[in-house]
Amino acid sequence: MRTLKLTVAYDGTAYVGWQRQENGVSVQERVEDAFRPLAAKPDGSAPTVIGAGRTDAGAHALGQVASVNVEIDLPPDPVQRALNVRLPLDIRVVAVSDEKPGFHARYHAAGKMYRYRIVTAPVMSPFDRLWAWHAPGRYDAGAMRRAAAALVGRHDFASFQTSGSPVTDTIRTLHQVEVRELDGEVVIEVSGDGFLRHMVRALAGTLLDVGAGRRAPESIPGVLAAADRGAAGPTLPAHGLTLVSVWY
């Protein structure tokens, strides 16, 4: 039995997220189906492919990582080619490598980086419409950076978790929250050791509130201390979010 590590990029527009669900087609389902002709189980079912994170419906990935245990003799490169032949064009396996037995893409992940794109120009390019959120206006990027600095470190991020989530341990460490102002666009990049459900989208919505002058940069410590979803800003739409990378 071999353990393979996959790096997967996908346009999440057509999917309910990475993880297999009953209410629609997932990226995991597509990758597992592509594996079936190569490494079906004795009962004919596809091997289970475990992702490093779920990703929301409509969100994207440049560097999702997955692990799978299979009994095949093909080297990694032919496995990669065989999967991509069978996958739809909005999902690509960009790398395959052998890992030590027991490697688990989710449990062994040390951290992730996410990117949220906000187009602030009056008119949004049609080529960005599926990968960025359009929020035209002028934003104070300096104020957003001051607010972002208060989010770095180990905190209780309950205020940024979707209400009703079953997760009870809401302590996470953020290594970086960077706000970059480009031509007609604001990009927020967040890296940390773990993320709560919709956390990055809520962080982005809160920082955008700061940039618009709807809340002060100095309010962030109070938002964290409240441990109440109502204290933070809105959860921005999923299509502006991309999982950039996972590290181990």
State the catalytic residues.
56
Euclidean distance between CA atoms 208 and 193, whole angstroms: 23
CB atoms within 10 A of CB 117: 21
For helices 76-86 and 27-39, give the axis angle rounded to 10 degrees. Answer: 120
CB atoms within 10 A of CB 171: 12
Euclidean distance between CA atoms 220 and 215, whole angstroms: 9
Strands (E), the chain: 2-10, 49-51, 60-70, 91-99, 111-119, 133-134, 153-156, 171-182, 185-192, 241-247
Residue with tokens 């940390």: 192
